[in-house]
Amino acid sequence: MTSAYGSWPSPFSAADISASSPRIEGARFVGDEIWWGESVPAQGGRVTVRSSSGSELLPEPWNARSKVHEYGGGAWTADAEGTLFFVNASDQRVHRAPRGGAPEPLTAPGPAYGGLTFQHGRLFAVREDLRPAQHVRAIVEIPVDGSAADDEAAVIVHAQGAGFFAHPALSPDGERLAYVTWAADRMPWDESGLRVLSLQDGDVAVIPTRAALQPEWRGADELLLLDEEGGRWSVMRTTIDAHGPLSTRPATPPVDADTGGALWVLGNRWYRLLDDGGIVAARTHGSDRIVRISPDGERVEPVDLPVTAGASIDDAAGARVLVSGSGAQVGQGLWCVDLGTATMTLVTGGHGTDPAWIPHGTPVTFDGPHGPVHAFDYRPTHPDVTAPEGELPPYIVMVHGGPTSHVSGAASTAYAYWTSRGIGVLDVNYGGSTGYGRAYRDRLNGQWGVVDVDDVTAAAQGLADAGLADPRRIAIRGGSAGGWTVLCALVRGGTFSAGISRYGVADLRMLAAETHDFEARYLDGLVGPLPEAEDVYIARSPLSHADRISVPVLLEQGEEDRVVPPSQAEAIRDALVARGVPHEYVLYEGEGHGFRRAETIISSLETELTFLGGVFGFEPRL
């Protein structure tokens, strides 16, 4: 069958995409069972906890979701007996739910909690209290007997301040607590420290680090952590005695890959310890791979798993490890690997993909004005349809958020929604992305709105120059920081014929004034400090040059977004209205920063497809 690109019949509806591959929100070994968190788009994006026994442990209306640092993470954990501890989304209080019992609160109303961990019989968390009279964050220990349910003072504070905290780790003897901290005017991937608190006398040892992550104790006197060694995150080891750290050194030989990443959420885990002292870790260079490291660090062996994107080493027990993520041939899922028997079991999700329908994300590199630009190319894919001879496909250039983040080229039904209809997708890791080392990440320092735009433009132009995309039909789509890059690229003009900005930044000064605490000083590094750099903020902002946008624009926004409030999208909308530029603005009720509800996901995809059909002149099939 021959049909124009964009009009191919597809088996993937927007409803299918919204229901496919729910997000995995952490996993744990609990007795003989495996528990995992899972989003439920059909229930407004609620996060439940399920068991390998087939039971749902957190029924409606309970919702395990933290709002600490706005992006949350680590919203649930459990003990070996099957008691569930979780942060309830509606009140941010920590609750306890005994197996078969109803949840009951463990903390008082007011502060928010996240990053829950149950260690050696004790419950630790990161607490954020943004009430005007408080405005502090802390590493805390929550009594599990319920004594703090009505008494906030009963929560034990181990470390607190105006900065940020993450990853509490209790030593096996219960005498020391390690944690990550960073200043309020820094981002954790730029500069974060590691502290070791003596719970006996309150002394704090400072371990010199550059960008610390995930401390884990290997015995009472040895601490593992992630830090940048030679420009790459890697596993480090330090020996602790009564006077503090004695030495810190790499735990493995150097490798051109990152074990670690941007600390946007509190639940991320990039490695886990095995009972024999060895390590299972996720290493990233563009894509992820899972490896096993011997106790002495000298032997590194690949672990046979299909996970190549979004890898999280969620838990380990004995020689068994829980790994979540997705891959080039599988969707989002959770796997249990027994390294003793070399067997792998799929716990949930992880559905295999049909290569006839699901495109493979081919890694590609383009020459850009600031150096190489890495991306993944998903070409139009259909087993029964071809395009007319000589026709080139339309493409969507995808721009990830963050901007300190990255994409990994995994199989994606969300991308198959486009490619099965004859629309190509180019997913770009522009300068500033993680996964390629600090030098690549630092390329964006002071250059947000310049390097990212140059890189996505170079990638789109390179695709067109190679004869793979119709240069007259290349759209650009991104959310949050990616939405900023979309609008900046449209202001520049000349490459993209349409833009889709999802909760994107339009005015830097407005963002600096309105955004939340976690990112309040993010712009200092990406653009420059205020008020000294105010002229740069004005010059870079798309809103300052909205009169230069001449192609159709689709703006999508969550009504309850605190990271990039609706005022940003509405300011651009008003500028487009004033100039008569074709556009659409869709405001989704009940949505925050990122779309979670099934009805929103469906509406958004169908709106975007219809929008592109109108711009590029094809008849879309919803």
Residue 222 lies in a domain: no
pLDDT in tens, 162-216: 899 999 999 999 999 999 999 999 999 999 999 999 999 999 989 989 999 999 9
Q: What digits encode the pLDDT tens for the residues 98-125?
A: 988 999 999 999 999 999 999 999 999 9
Q: pLDDT over 70 for what percent of the chain?
A: 99
Q: Are residues 475 and 334 in the same domain?
A: no
Number of domains making up the chain: 3
pLDDT for 44: 81
In a domain, 14, yes or no: no
- Structure confidence at residue 20 as a pLDDT band (50, 70, 90): confident
Cβ of 475: how many Cβ atoms within 10 Å?
25
Region 27-41: mean pLDDT is: 95
Whether 359 shows a pLDDT value over 90: the answer reads no
Q: Is the same domain home to 63 and 152?
A: yes
| Per-chain mean pLDDT for the chain | 94
How do residues 418-445 score in pLDDT, each as one tens digit? Answer: 999 999 999 999 999 999 999 999 999 9
Domain that holds residue 282: 271-352
Residues 572, 490: one domain? yes
pLDDT for res 163: 94
pLDDT digits (tens, 9 = 90+) for 53-91: 999 999 999 999 999 998 999 999 999 999 999 999 999
Domain boundary among 319, 334, 352: 352
230, part of any domain: no
Are 300 and 400 contained in the same domain? Answer: no
Q: Which of 139, 162, 185 is the last residue of a domain?
A: 162
Whether residue 328 sits in one domain with residue 417: no
Check whether 510 has a pLDDT greater than 90: no
Give the whole-angstrom CA distance, residue 85 versus residue 67. 16
Specify if 525 maps to a domain.
yes
Average confidence (pLDDT) over 239-253: 79
pLDDT at residue number 243: 63
With respect to residue 563, please indicate whether it lies within any of the assigned structural domains.
Answer: yes
Whether 482 and 383 map to the same domain: the answer is yes
290/338 same-domain check: yes
User: Using 50, 70 and 90 to split pLDDT, how confident is the model at 21?
Assistant: low
Whether residue 398 sits in one domain with residue 276: no
What average pLDDT score do residues 13-18 get? 86
**3-state secondary structure labels for all residues of 249-269:** EECCCCCCCECCCCCCCCCCC
Q: Is the pLDDT of residue 399 over 70?
A: yes
Confidence bin at 135 (pLDDT 50/70/90): confident
Q: Is residue 216 part of a domain?
A: no
Question: At 563, which helix (H) or strand (E)?
Answer: none
pLDDT score for 593 = 85
Tell me whether residue 526 is exposed, middle or buried, using C-beta atoms within 10 angstroms of its C-beta: 0 to 12, 13 to 18, 19 or more. buried
CA distance linking residue 555 with residue 484, whole number of Å: 11
pLDDT confidence band for 397 (50 / 70 / 90): very high
CA 478 to chain centre: 14
Mean of pLDDT values over 213-238: 94
Domain boundary among 298, 329, 352: 352
- As given in the structure block, the two tokens for residue 144 are 């599990």
CATH number of the domain where residue 593 is located: 3.40.50.1820
Q: What was the pLDDT predicted at 16?
A: 86
pLDDT at residue 583 in the model: 96
β-pairing, 553-558 with 583-588? parallel
Query: Is 515 in the same domain as 416?
Result: yes
Mean pLDDT of 567-585: 93
Domain CATH number, residue 36: 2.120.10.30
Residue 505 is which amino acid? V
- Rounded to the nearest 5 degrees, what angle is found at the Cα of 290, between the Cα atoms of 289 and 292? 140
Co-location of 369 and 303 in the same domain? no
Stretch 371-386: mean pLDDT: 96
Match 């009430």 to its residue by tokens. 131
Q: Are 74 and 63 in contact (CB under 8 A)?
A: no
Q: What is d(CA 213, CA 228) in angstroms, rounded to the nearest whole number?
A: 10
In a domain, residue 188? The reply is: no
Asked if residue 400 and residue 297 are part of one domain, the reply reads no
Q: What percent of the chain has pLDDT over 90?
A: 81
Spatial separation of the C-alpha atoms in residues 231 and 264, rounded to whole Å: 20
Residue owning tokens 């993909």: 353
- The pLDDT tens digits of the residues spanning 309-353 come to 999 999 999 999 999 999 988 889 999 999 999 899 999 998 877
Q: What is the pLDDT of residue 244?
A: 60
139 or 242: whose pLDDT is higher? Answer: 139
Distance CA 344, CA 394 (A): 40
Quickly count helices (H) and strands (E) in the chain.
10, 35
| Amino acid 242: pLDDT | 64
Same domain for 373 and 341? Answer: no
Q: Which of 12-26, 89-103, 271-285 has the lowest mean pLDDT?
A: 12-26
Q: Is residue 178 included in any domain, yes or no?
A: no
* DSSP helix/strand/coil, 334: strand
Q: Which carries the bigger pLDDT value, residue 517 or residue 403?
A: 403
